[in-house]
Each structure stands twice: as structure tokens, then as C-alpha cells.
Structure 1
């Protein structure tokens, strides 16, 4: 049976082509090349380092390499180094440059803020071509596993358990030493010394935790110092970072991200301020899940003039009445009289004293009618004072959100489909469920910034394929002549223009 035969590897051949001809004109690598070449990297904060001897690599080339890598599921600096030697697309993109893995890794570590500005540049490009509606956004967070095992994460209780264990071991070793001799004694002495070293290590960690007065539950991660042990879902925990993101509803493009090591409780207000600055308007609706249901964050949103829809969590068991019909939400508040009316028609009054909780103040409302009320056993389990309603300074903001949610149920149903789309692509499809770096929050932010940038560019490229003429927006006019947006779009859609210059971009004043 005859088969197709390959060419002789040792036969000399003359190729009548150049490197540029080996990469198709619709290849996404050209998209990356023109995108980066259209950015003034020095203005965005990429610094050209001083050198002696051999010149350094151009930041534009290293940025192109990283964007290509992240768009093709390659994040490791060593993997990217290999691609520079064997991947024709990368050879074309870097014009046959071959940086080593240390140079590649340092570029990501040293430029987290500049990488974020490149991400914002992609957002402004999307806005210029109406890919971002700015009318409906959704916010959420995802946990990304850090390069720090649970074993190397410590809190006060864990350290205390280690110290107790070491003390017990030392006691056992000391008892054994009193009767040991020869080689056995020498081995026990080594174990005792090792245990003492371990004890000193844990005592130092304990001292650092005692000095931390800012955290409710201080902890230390020894491999990646800024990572924190957090609940991922249910009872599953990981040492990880939290990525807060904001997604626009029009084409599910990311408009903002921020990597933190905190939970969602205080995340909404910060992300809304940033969204208002990016979109340059507050005339949009923001959707969030119940993890963001915090009174102070609602106050922030209302002060910003932003309409929020946040899912309402279930009432805690300790706050429920024996009969749910007598839960606090069924008591009607009269703003003019500053009183509550219970389901039995009794009026609850306040003594106008403001009590202080950890993060807010509140007033208490009660009535003497509780003592003789026939349904008291269904309303409260209190033995002395009867039912007491607490109204915090944020209660009105919380109730306003509940009203909006009940009136816009169909809008809120869109939240999960919007905000989970990027996470499905990043974590499930690309496998980017962890942080590559291990030198703190700054480096981790650069890693996630490149993930977010790669997602936006990939999404814009896909939209360009679906929407005729959009792919041309990421090429450059040969003479770099600025064109008005409407005129440029008309020329692209008519097929008269092949290349288009970028428009000026706006960067909000925050990191």
C-alpha cells in the first residue's frame, strides 16, 4: 500500500518567501502586534531600564509575548521561553527575539500598574466602538488559589496547637533521655534540638500575629505573604486571593478588576466608585449577589446615585421569631413619627438613644403592650422586655434595595449569566484557577491583570469576527492619520479602509 511521502530532511531547499508570509493575515497574532504597537508604553508606566553592555528587550516585545501566551493558555515564563524557539507565530511576533525565562518573569513582576493601564486601554477601545453599553453592569468575585499551601498558613489557634504538640513531644523526649544511653541518647538529643528550633519558629510567628491589631482574625502565609485562608464555597477552604470584577451587559466585557485578599462584604462600594469613574456616568444599574449585602455599601451606592440590585440573604435563625409572621420585616415603620407598628397594631417607640455596634449605630424600639399581648409567645422568646426592634443607620438603604429587587426581578435574573461568563472562560476553559506568582499582592495583581486583558482581547476578536468590519479597529493607518469615529466606521463597513488608528483613551485616577 502506498502512502504520501514527506520530504527528505537532508535535502537543501530554497524558499521564495519571508517570515511575514508564513503568518496568515487574519491570524490573531497580528491583532496582538497592532494592539501593542498602538500604545505609548512609556506613558502607561513601562520603564526602559538603564543598561551597560547588551541593550535590554523592548517592553513592547515582552508585553506582546505575554498577551499571546495568556490568550493561548500559557502563563509560565519557562513555557513562553520555549515558544520563542519553536512557535512560528511567536517567532513572527517577536521578530526572532529569544528572551530567557528570567527576563520574561521579571517583566510581569515589575509592571503590575502598567499592565492594569493596558487593560484599561482595552476597555476604552471597546467603549469607542460601542461594545460597552454602560447601562447594566454586574459585579462578583472569584477565588484564585495562591502558591501557598494550607500547611504554610497560620493563625493564633493553629500556632497554639503546634506549640502544645511540641511541648508534649519535648516532655516525652526528656523522660526518654533520663533512661537512654549511647546512640539512642544522641538521636533523642537531635530530636529535642529540632523541636526547640520549631518552637522558636512558632513563637516568632505568634509574636507577629499578636502585633497585628488591624485584622479581626490575623493570619500569616509564609510562602505568599499576602494570600489568605478563605472559604471558597460551602465548607471548602483554600489559601487564595479574591478577584473582584465588573462586567458590562452588552457583550460581557470586563470593565474593571481588583485583586484583594478580603471577602465580598466591603467590596461593592469600592467597585461602584471605580465603575462610575470608568463609565463617566452613574446612570446604570449594578447587580450583585447576597455576599455584598452590607448596609454601609448600600449607603455608598446611594450617595453615588447608582441604582443597585443586591440579592437579599435569608434571616439568621437567631433573628427569627417563633412564628415567621412576626419577624421584624412585618413591622411597619413610620418615618414621620419614628415608630414601628407590629402586626397586632401596637406602636413601638424609641428613647432616641443611639447605641454603637462594631461598624454602625442603631436605635431600639419597644412597647409595654408586649407584656399583655395574647400572641407574645409567637412573637418573641424574651422573658422580660418583650419584642425589641433594632433600626440601624443603614436600614433605610437596605429597605430601598429590597424594594428595587422586588420591582426588577427580571433584570436581576440576568446577573449570573453576565458575571459568570468571564469566570467560565478563565477558570474552566483556560484553566486559570490559580495565581502563578508568589511574591505578594502586587505580583499577583499583574498575573490576574494579564488574564483579564487576554479575556477582553479574545472577546473583542470574537466580536470582530461576528460583526463585519470590527476586526479592522485593531490595525493602524499607515500614515497614522486620526479619523473621526463615525467616519472611520463608515469606511470600514464599506470595505474602503483596511487599517485604522486608535483613538485617545481616558484613564480614571485610581489604581
Structure 2
């Protein structure tokens, strides 16, 4: 029988040269080289006032090394990073066997702020010197991720006031029962449990009252509409995803097509991608490395989530060449004619939507509108007055009418005419008269993107940006943000994007 040498993997003391553990061509070698010799980290010096007195601080370069390397390995927890600095030889080599406490690591990551933006720009400069940025096409896309906040604590001020009223009422009822029961003999354990419940209800109500005091107004969206607040992280947002509703942030990235370098990364507490397009484009324009990132020949591409007439108008005013898809782009493309057969049929055991019900509310066709005289008669026989004859709705000319309160309030057909008759006093109705004179920016974009050249150029978007998100989500195991507040989450998102860019540098032979 063959005999083999015994392989002993038990712990032992070894003489190890830490510098030689960072092998050329690896991510950790490129990371160590960048932070020690290429990047300017002097902005971190303002954090410390220990020139003459006080304890020495951990070097920011060392903390950045272990955080970025941990993120590259899918390690996000500061406690796990601390343990790795004690047990993992690569972490020991990057940290110089210094073993920082997890609170030091967590405090450093949460306080990066604008410093990480400067580092991100410096990495872009090095990528450009290595010839990794082509400036031919930039693909913009985003991913919605949960944050360190509970979606059950979301709502408007009205929701919170209603909730605190219920808590206070429940505590009052329980307290009255508790006083009545004082006259009877009750087991001590039951009395203690009731006291705990009352205390908990009063504490929760006091927390909500305190939050309402410190937030006197509802959170507003980009168009002034009320956006749900969150008592855990008020800068996060409740957003719908393919896996359900989450409380989190949208991480947006702009990726260069040549070597998939992320040239801009931002995180925002909103699920509306439309309002994020222009800020990202402006940030790309303002980024100066060797010269402006966006040139006269650069193309910006984005999917239908970023499409709106307002965005297209602003891009045209900024003289930015862009291809932004609309929701019906694939339905107009003959190559996707048979895509319906690949869609998964809904599970009849879980599909609770039911059949579509016919509209029970009066539609505009039920109103008697005379375009010649400019009059409109409702189904109840009352004349509506015009409150907008030159309106434009989504590029279409429209005429708007509204009922008078003296007619609508006592009307017996309010239930059929108004969606919320207990709230709305009068009915409004609009009639469209066709498109406004001139071609809209949406129509111009449809013509461009439906052309053979437009389809070929836009087709590169998917292969440019989706592998980047696959690397961050799958390889780096980024499935949630662990911090609270838009500024902190934005810094964490930039850290992950930095990992991706440094990997690109390492894979293309940097510092070998």
C-alpha cells in the first residue's frame, strides 16, 4: 500500500515575511501599491489633533487597505474584519499585524464622507493613465438594495399620529384594567407582565411623539409630493423591487464601455430612477482627470427607468448625446417579437389579483363635450366650467373642465363619478386634442433608437453595465447597505465601486 507524508495543519509559530504575502498580480498587491505610493491621503490628517499630545492614530492607508480587501472578499461586518486581521495572513500583511478594534473600523467607514470621493477621483486618474477609459460610451444603471432600516417604521406624519393615538389608547385601557384588578388577588407574574406591556406601549408612543416633534413636516419628493418618512433612517425610501418592497437606497453607477470602469457612483434614498439621471450626468461632466470625461463624441445610454420628456429636454439643452430607451422600445423591435413565450406564467395558487373589473366610475367618454362651443355636460346633466384650455399633458394638447361645488356636492351620483367621494368635492375631466405642434423629444429619441445604428449602439449598454452589477452583487456579495443616512450609504457604495475599479487595474497588469 502506498505511503504518504503526513500533512499537519495544526496551529504553529512561523517566521513569515509579511511583505512577501502580497503576490504581484493580485488585488491585494495592487491595493497595497496604490495606497502606499500613488494616492494622496493628506485630507485625512485634518481628523486628528495629536501632533504634540495624544495617542498615535491608525494610518488611514492601513484602514482603507483592510476595508477594501474585506469588501473584495464579501466581508462587510467590522467585527469580522477585526477577526480577519487576527487570523488571516493577507489581512495581517495589509495591516502590519496591528489588529484595529472593530469600533475603530466601523467609525472609519461611517465617517469617510467627502474623503472617499477624492480617492475615487484619484483612482479614475490612474485608470485613465493606464488607458482603461475610452470615453466612447457610458452606460448608466442602478440597483435597489435594502438598508439598515425597518420598512414597518415608514409612513407619513398622519400615519404616525394615528399610530401613536392607538398606542396611547391601548395603554390607557390596559392601565384602567390594571387599576380595577388591584382590588382582586392576581398572581404576581401576571401583574408584572401587564406592567411591562403598559410600559412598552407608553415608551413606543413617546418615541413616536419625540420623532414627530423633531420632524415637523412630511418628507417631500422631487416634484413636491409627500414621500413616506422612516423613523429609523429618514433618508432611505420604501421602494418596490422584483423581490418585493424594501426599505433602502438606490445605488447608481455610470460605466465606461471600454473596460467597464465605473466613472461615477452615487447612492440616493429614492426609488425613482428618473430623478437620478441628470445628477449623474452632471457629475460625469464635472469630473476632471486628464480632461473632461464626456467629450463631443461620447454617448450616454440608460434603460427605460430613466426615460422622461423632462430628462430628454435637459440632455438636449446640455448638448449631451444620449440614447434613453422607452417602455415600448422592445415591442417595436422585430427581434423581440416572440419574447412573450419566454415569460413565466403566474402561479394560479399564488396569483391573488383576479380578473380585471370593469370601470364603475364615469369615464371622459360619458361626458358630453362639444369642441365647437367649448362646453361640457356631465352625466347628471350639469354643465362644467373650463379651467384650462391650453394645457399640455405628456406632449398632448388638452382641455380641462371642473364641476361646480353647488352641483357636485349634493349630486346623487357622486359614488359613480368620484374616486374618493368622501374627500373630493368636485370632478375634473380632460379631453385631448392631439399632439402639440412640433415633434417631442420623446418622438425624436424613438426615431433615433429604432434606427439600425441606434439599436446597434444601444445594444452595447447591457454588456457594459450588467456585468459590473453582477460582480458587485454576486462576487462581492453586496446584498444590503449596513449604514444609515444618505452620506454614509453613498460612501459605502463608492467603496464597493472602488473595489471593482482596483480589480480592473490589477487584472490589466498594474504594479506587476
Q: TM-score normalised to the size of structure 2?
A: 0.70
Aligned residue for 2:459? 413
- How many angstroms apart in 1 are the aligned matches of 2:10 and 2:389? 90
Aligned residue for 1:300? 314
* Contact 1:112 1:449 (C-alpha < 8 Å) held by counterparts: no
What is the number of residues matched between the two proteins?
410
* Contact 2:235 2:486 (C-alpha < 8 Å) held by counterparts: yes
Query: Is the partner of 2:462 in helix, strand or coil?
Result: helix
- How many angstroms apart in 1 are the aligned matches of 2:61 and 2:196? 55
Aligned residue for 1:231? 240
- How many angstroms apart in 1 are the aligned matches of 2:395 and 2:161? 35
* Contact 1:354 1:362 (C-alpha < 8 Å) held by counterparts: no
Query: Is the partner of 1:266 in helix, strand or coil?
Result: helix
Say yes or no: does 1:146 pair with 2:191: no
Aligned residue for 1:455? 500
Gaps of 5+ in 2: 288-292, 330-355, 357-387, 401-428
What displacement does 1:427 show? 0.9
**Larger RCO, structure (CA 8 Å, separation 6 or more):** 2
* Structure 1 residues 41 and 78: CA distance shift in structure 2, 3 A: farther
- How many angstroms apart in 2 are the aligned matches of 1:111 and 1:12? 37
Aligned residue for 1:333? none
1:458-507 residue CA offsets vs partner (Å, 9 max, x unmatched): 12322x1xxxxxx1x436xxxxxxxxxxxxxxxxxxxxxxxxxxxxxxxx
* Structure 1 residues 392 and 249: CA distance shift in structure 2, 3 A: farther
What displacement does 1:26 show? 3.7
Moved more, 425-434 or 166-175: 166-175
1:425-457 residue CA offsets vs partner (Å, 9 max, x unmatched): 11122211111223x112112211110000111
What displacement does 1:103 show? 1.7
Query: Is the partner of 2:239 in helix, strand or coil?
Result: strand
* Contact 1:437 1:444 (C-alpha < 8 Å) held by counterparts: yes
- How many angstroms apart in 1 are the aligned matches of 2:437 and 2:324? 18
1:368-410 residue CA offsets vs partner (Å, 9 max, x unmatched): xxxxxxxxxxxxxxxx9964236499x7222221221112122
Aligned residue for 1:20? 19
Aligned residue for 1:212? 218
* Contact 1:285 1:308 (C-alpha < 8 Å) held by counterparts: yes
- How many angstroms apart in 1 are the aligned matches of 2:38 and 2:196? 61
* Structure 1 residues 10 and 159: CA distance shift in structure 2, 3 A: closer
* Structure 1 residues 53 and 397: CA distance shift in structure 2, 3 A: same
What displacement does 1:115 show? 1.4
Query: Is the partner of 1:5 in helix, strand or coil?
Result: coil
Aligned pairs (5 A) from 1:129-278 = 129-156=130-157, 158-159=159-160, 162-163=163-164, 165-166=166-167, 169=170, 173=174, 176=177, 180=181, 181-182=183-184, 191-192=197-198, 194-206=200-212, 211-212=217-218, 214-215=220-221, 216-233=225-242, 236-262=244-270, 263-278=272-287
- How many angstroms apart in 2 are the aligned matches of 1:265 and 1:123? 26
Aligned pairs (5 A) from 1:27-66 = 27-43=26-42, 47=46, 49-51=48-50, 52-66=53-67
Aligned residue for 2:302? 288
* Structure 1 residues 264 and 242: CA distance shift in structure 2, 3 A: same
- How many angstroms apart in 1 are the aligned matches of 2:273 and 2:8? 60
* Contact 1:78 1:101 (C-alpha < 8 Å) held by counterparts: yes
* Contact 1:155 1:209 (C-alpha < 8 Å) held by counterparts: no
Moved more, 199-208 or 301-310: 199-208
What displacement does 1:237 show? 0.8
* Structure 1 residues 274 and 179: CA distance shift in structure 2, 3 A: closer
What displacement does 1:419 show? 1.7
* Contact 1:80 1:101 (C-alpha < 8 Å) held by counterparts: yes
What displacement does 1:10 show? 10
Moved more, 183-192 or 265-274: 183-192
* Structure 1 residues 392 and 418: CA distance shift in structure 2, 3 A: farther
* Structure 1 residues 290 and 46: CA distance shift in structure 2, 3 A: farther
- Match 2:446 to one of 389, 402, 406: 402
* RMSD, matched Cα: 3.7
Aligned pairs (5 A) from 1:312-461 = 312-314=326-328, 355=391, 363-364=397-398, 387-389=432-434, 391=436, 396-407=440-451, 408-438=454-484, 440-461=485-506
* Contact 1:248 1:254 (C-alpha < 8 Å) held by counterparts: yes
- How many angstroms apart in 2 are the aligned matches of 1:91 and 1:190? 48
1:173-201 residue CA offsets vs partner (Å, 9 max, x unmatched): 47746864335596667655654443344
1:324-382 residue CA offsets vs partner (Å, 9 max, x unmatched): xxxxxxxxxxxxxxxxxxxxxxxxxxxx975488xx9985489xxxxxxxxxxxxxxxx
Query: Is the partner of 2:226 in helix, strand or coil?
Result: coil
* Structure 1 residues 238 and 157: CA distance shift in structure 2, 3 A: farther
* Contact 2:147 2:249 (C-alpha < 8 Å) held by counterparts: yes
- How many angstroms apart in 1 are the aligned matches of 2:308 and 2:478? 30
- How many angstroms apart in 2 are the aligned matches of 1:211 and 1:361? 34
Gaps of 5+ in 1: 318-351, 367-383, 465-470, 476-511
- How many angstroms apart in 2 are the aligned matches of 1:108 and 1:178? 51
* Contact 2:253 2:265 (C-alpha < 8 Å) held by counterparts: yes
- How many angstroms apart in 2 are the aligned matches of 1:171 and 1:7? 68
* Structure 1 residues 9 and 401: CA distance shift in structure 2, 3 A: closer
